[in-house]
Structure 1
Amino acid sequence: MIKKIVNVRLLSAIALATTLAACSSTDDEDEAIKIAELTDINEQFEVDVAWEKGIGDGVDDYFSRIKPAYGYNKVFSISREGDAYAIDANSGDQVWHIDLSDVNKERGFFDSREPALLAGGPVTGVNKVFIGSENGQIFALDAETGELAWQGKVKGEVIARPALDSGILVVNTASGVLKAFNANTGEDLWQVDLDVPPLTLRGISAPTAAAGGVLVGTSAGELSVFMLEKGQQGWTVPVGEATGSTELERVIDVDSQPLVFGDKVYAISSRGNLVAIDIRNGRILWKRQYSSYRQLAIKGNTLFLTNLKGHVYAVDRVNGLERWSNLALTNRSVTGPVVIDDYLAVGDFEGYLHFLDQETGEFVARHKVDGSGIYATPTVAEGTIYVQARDGSLQAVKLP
């Protein structure tokens, strides 16, 4: 029964995102739902798969933004059922594995496994790995051994990665609760309750900690900053613009994680705008009409994004002017972009990893990870892309 409920939520989120893309377009209805077919490209290189590892059963058909995390020369990853793994980043060997579905539970020999519903994280820091669940559980594991260091509780589903800075872990939930913990001990530090509209997208914004504050996008289409130490609210800036006549058309969630670069923060709404904001006072520096709930990326003076239709864009981060666009992946459920060397990489629903030239947006390579699809933005660390497919297949991909 639980699986049916969550699957309905997943389908609803996909349908809502597709509807938002269609509503924000002037294209014909058929064009709004047509999935682009891949065509031959002039491949400039072939990637090298350094190692591959199975992470339980992955996330199956459920909505999830689970992605690998890198830290302490290890790659940490999780499955929705409750598997948490630490893998040697160089060799791909398993360092440890823990089943969080068994934590605080007594299971008989013939009892079935009760899923831990892991969904937020992992995040590394203070020699620990932090993971959140749809049940509002926060698990802190020892990064070296996998042992449970502490366990916390928050009201609402944790379906986005927590933020960690200065020994403080901040968790955002689908119920609008923003809560901070002492990352070393698990002690509750502060909590803020945010307003949640009656109709929102399934995802939520992962918070970003920077400059003594924590920035978070809201379901009301705003970007807010709170003081990291005590939780006092600073400025709030509107990002989305509710222009439709129905509740569906007025969904303006800011579900993408705020991206901080120097004294600027960049945020984007599922309907409305991409904005550049002065992090010191909340002043909007520029605003452009792009819509997305995917993660942003940046290199130098260029900001990269994937919109609701799967189009990939490069935008000047100083003035917001568009540098190039690639429309060849329309409606392929394209992930947020990541930067590696001189290239940009995005995944899609068929499990392909696409590489684009950062200067032109042209395809330069393509790699098939797994047929179950890639829905979470890959992770880049130490010149390696770590990408996890829906069925749990985790690959370490290197460029030549």
Structure 2
Amino acid sequence: MARKRASRRRFLAAVLGASTVGLSGCGSDGDATTTPGDAGTATPRDTPTDTPTASATPTDTAEPTDTAEPTDTAEQTATATPDASSFASWPTFMRNDERWGHHPDATGPQEEVSADWTKQFDQDAVNATPVLADGTLYIGAGGAGDDDGSFHALNPVTGETKWSKDVAAPVTSAAAIDRGFAYFGTTDGVFYALNTDDGSVFWEWDLGSTEDFTAPAVVDRGVYVGSSGSPIYKFDALDGGLEWNQSTYGSITAPPVYADGTVYATSADQELYAVSDSGDLQWTVDLGGSANGVAHRDRRLFVTSENNRLTQVNVRGSTGWQISRRDAFAATPAVTAQRVFAGTRGGTLFAFDVGDGRELWRVTEPSGGVTAAPVVADGTVYVGARDGSVYAVTAETGDLKWSFATSNNIEAAAPVVAGGRVYIGSQDGTLYALGE
């Protein structure tokens, strides 16, 4: 196992500058039935400690594959636009650790769009969701057909590469940006913390297996992440130590939620899990089908599952309402104060009332499944579909505003909306910046 640690100066600077990115919600009550880390299905090659020893190759010498200028595949058609530092921040999957997928201050395109710029990587697919923080766009690359992966920091205005980092396996989930570090995992069971200024490795953890990681939630010094091997992991954000793992009985494919001291995660074992930030299991809810995603807002959880259901559960584990449609709800839903937006494998995007689950509208334009999470900004719902197109519909009515065709499916990548653009990846291996 290779693990790297930052210099003492970097470590102390990070501690002194610590701040929390995620928006906290409210916690839950319940009886703990499992002790921390007692049933993990994958264990690291070495036992972690709170202060891991430095590797033979110090982090200071780690060299990312820098590309100071845009690659040949980046089209620089953007001109006079706001400075990127003023763009709305999406530092983690679906904007915050509660996975709202809603940003009330973001601005996006309302009329027909074209590609302001595109970026292609060495990998054949871009399945990861981009994130945006401090004027920089971060994106991982790689898919099922790729032997390796990469991670990139880009200028969101021009598409210019600030730095790139090659990794041994695809990066298929979003990163989380916190206190100058980018946290993300790869499909070969390696989890990274990179310095956002140059892409050098701050620390890394190798599970010694081929587990794939979800996007993480980073809160204080905790990094909470699910994996296809079934555990929920908590790492120390500053030294990379594994604090605990809570096993489920199925693959975790959707990013966990963190709200007020509790981690909520969905599993292919059909359960929604509530785990305290100390690793104690609080409660589980049987959803009747493989659970595909969860979002939290105002003490309510909204959960999608493979048995065609969207379920609202409160933070104590009691079901409020449940609706069923003809096809499976396939990804994390987006939630505003009034509405829940969720797509199905059959190619329909729905809007439901938060309070009672009543259907408000549906959009059937996609000719392929809506298996990626939608987001909401500027009165508009933006989502990609397996027909290769990105759609923008009015959040109030579901009326189609525009669509844009990429060259392959959009299977798992949610968009980011900021600075009048939509940023989204496609399985054609391209990251698109779409603007009016």
Correspondences of 1:1-400 after superposition (within 5 Å): 45-59=111-125, 65-80=127-142, 81-101=148-168, 116-154=169-207, 157-196=211-250, 204-228=253-277, 230-239=278-287, 241=288, 252-256=289-293, 258-279=294-315, 281-290=316-325, 291-333=328-370, 335-368=372-405, 370-383=406-419, 384-398=421-435, 400=436
Q: Distance in 2 between matches of 1:44 and 1:162?
A: 31
Q: Which moved more, 1:66-75 or 1:309-318?
A: 66-75
1:16-74 deviation per Cα after TM superposition (whole angstroms, max 9, x unaligned): xxxxxxxxxxxxxxxxxxxxxxxxxxx972225333222322438xxxx4221212211
Q: Does the 8 Å CA contact 1:156/1:173 hold for their aligned counterparts?
A: no
Instruction: Note the C-alpha offset of 1:146.
Output: 0.2
Q: Identity percentage over the alignment?
A: 21
The 3-state SS of whatever aligns with 1:119 is coil
Q: Distance in 2 between matches of 1:140 and 1:355?
A: 34
Q: Which moved more, 1:359-368 or 1:214-223?
A: 359-368
Q: Give the aligned residue type for 1:162.
A: P
Q: Which moved more, 1:162-171 or 1:50-59?
A: 50-59
Q: Distance in 1 between matches of 2:308 and 2:389?
A: 29
Measured at CA, do residues 77 and 360 of structure 1 come closer, stay the same or move farther in structure 2, by a change above 3 Å? same
Q: Does the 8 Å CA contact 2:348/2:365 hold for their aligned counterparts?
A: yes
Instruction: Note the C-alpha offset of 1:272.
Output: 4.5
Instruction: Note the C-alpha offset of 1:330.
Output: 4.5
The 3-state SS of whatever aligns with 2:397 is coil
TM-score (norm 1): 0.74
Instruction: Note the C-alpha offset of 1:82.
Output: 2.0
The 3-state SS of whatever aligns with 2:416 is strand
TM-score (norm 2): 0.69
Instruction: Note the C-alpha offset of 1:140.
Output: 1.1
Q: Distance in 1 between matches of 2:227 and 2:392?
A: 33
Instruction: Note the C-alpha offset of 1:153.
Output: 2.5
Larger RCO: 1 or 2 (CA < 8 Å, sep 6+): 2
Q: Distance in 1 between matches of 2:318 and 2:352?
A: 20
Q: Distance in 2 between matches of 1:58 and 1:160?
A: 20
Q: Distance in 1 between matches of 2:306 and 2:382?
A: 21
Q: Give the aligned residue type for 2:189.
A: G
Q: Does the 8 Å CA contact 1:85/1:98 hold for their aligned counterparts?
A: yes
Q: Does the 8 Å CA contact 1:350/1:371 hold for their aligned counterparts?
A: no
Q: Distance in 1 between matches of 2:213 and 2:110?
A: 37
Instruction: Note the C-alpha offset of 1:237.
Output: 1.4
Q: Distance in 1 between matches of 2:260 and 2:286?
A: 21
Q: Give the aligned residue type for 1:97.
A: S
Q: Give the aligned residue type for 1:211.
A: D
Q: Distance in 2 between matches of 1:253 and 1:169?
A: 24
Instruction: Note the C-alpha offset of 1:177.
Output: 1.5
Residue 39 of structure 2 corresponds to none
Instruction: Note the C-alpha offset of 1:332.
Output: 4.2
- Cα-Cα RMSD: 2.2
Q: Distance in 2 between matches of 1:74 and 1:392?
A: 20
Instruction: Note the C-alpha offset of 1:123.
Output: 2.1
The 3-state SS of whatever aligns with 1:120 is coil
